């Protein structure tokens, strides 16, 4: 039973380890959990599509250590992230913030999608209207048309 529990614990540990080295891990599990959460949102500047939590790059390691040191010294999660952003810019955040320079990024897809839906609705409305128009009674004849029709009918009856 003990062995089974150990194996289970080890396998779980393996899943959540990322690139964090044993010597970096904090003794306080709460702080360590916060550090992991922060690290997952920070971009590794060397291998740009990995978080520093995933990356084996030296700079990512130093950033992980820095995040932990700041947490230990009493920084809030926001303060730690703000410090790294103040050095590297918003680019370091894997999830871009919602602000004036990123409105196009966040709202663009919804806007373009919305325009597409509007265009589609307009298109189908017009098509159904056109189809309904065929079946509905044609507009009454004008005086001119009536006279022409009478002439034609007269010609034939003769």
Partner 1 sequence: MNRRFLFVLPLVGFAVIASYFAVGLTRDPSALPSVLIDTPAPEFALDPIKGRDRGLSREDLEGEVSLVNIFGSWCFACRVEHPLLMQLKKENAVPIHGIDWREIDPDDGPKWLARFGDPYTLIGDDPVSRAAIAFGVTGAPETFVVDKNGVIRYKHAGVVTGQVWEEILRPLIEELRRQ
Binding site for partner 1 (CB under 8 A): 45-46, 48, 58-59, 62-63, 65-66, 84, 86-89, 91
58 vs 154 by CB, closer to partner 1? 58
Cβ 66 to partner 1 shortest distance, Å: 6
What residues form DSSP beta bridges with 42? 93
What does the buried/exposed string (b/e) look like for 72-96 if buried means 16 or more CB atoms within 10 Å of the residue's CB? eeebeeeebbeebeeeeeeebeeee
11 vs 49 by CB, closer to partner 1? 49
The span from the CA of 93 to the CA of 148, in Å, is: 77
CB 44 within 8 A of CB 59: yes
How many CA atoms lie within 13 Å of 43's alpha carbon, on the beta-carbon side?
16
The owner of tokens 């897809």 is: 109
Q: Which residues contact 151 (CB under 8 A, 6 or more apart)?
A: none
Cβ 157 to partner 1 shortest distance, Å: 43
DSSP run (H or E) holding 151: helix 143-157
86 vs 157 by CB, closer to partner 1? 86
18 vs 83 by CB, closer to partner 1? 83
46 vs 141 by CB, closer to partner 1? 46
Cβ 85 to partner 1 shortest distance, Å: 8
Cβ 86 to partner 1 shortest distance, Å: 7
**Would you give the distance in Å from CA 139 to the centre of its chain?**
52
Cβ 116 to partner 1 shortest distance, Å: 13
């Amino acid at each position: 039973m003990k062995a089974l529990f150990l194996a289970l614990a080890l396998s779980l540990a393996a899943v959540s380890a990322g690139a964090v080295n044993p010597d970096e891990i904090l003794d306080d599990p709460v702080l360590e959990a916060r550090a992991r959460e922060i690290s997952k949102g920070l971009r590794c500047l060397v291998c740009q599509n990995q978080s520093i939590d995933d990356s084996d790059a030296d700079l990512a390691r130093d950033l992980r250590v820095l995040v932990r040191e700041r947490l230990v010294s009493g920084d809030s999660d926001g303060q730690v992230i703000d410090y790294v952003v103040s050095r590297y810019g918003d680019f370091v955040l894997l999830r871009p913030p919602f602000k004036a320079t990123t409105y196009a990024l966040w709202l663009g897809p919804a806007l373009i999608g919305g325009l597409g839906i509007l265009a589609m609705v307009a298109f189908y409305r017009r098509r159904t209207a056109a189809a309904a128009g065929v079946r509905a009674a044609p507009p009454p004849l004008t005086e001119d048309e009536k006279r022409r029709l009478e002439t034609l009918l007269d010609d034939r009856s003769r």
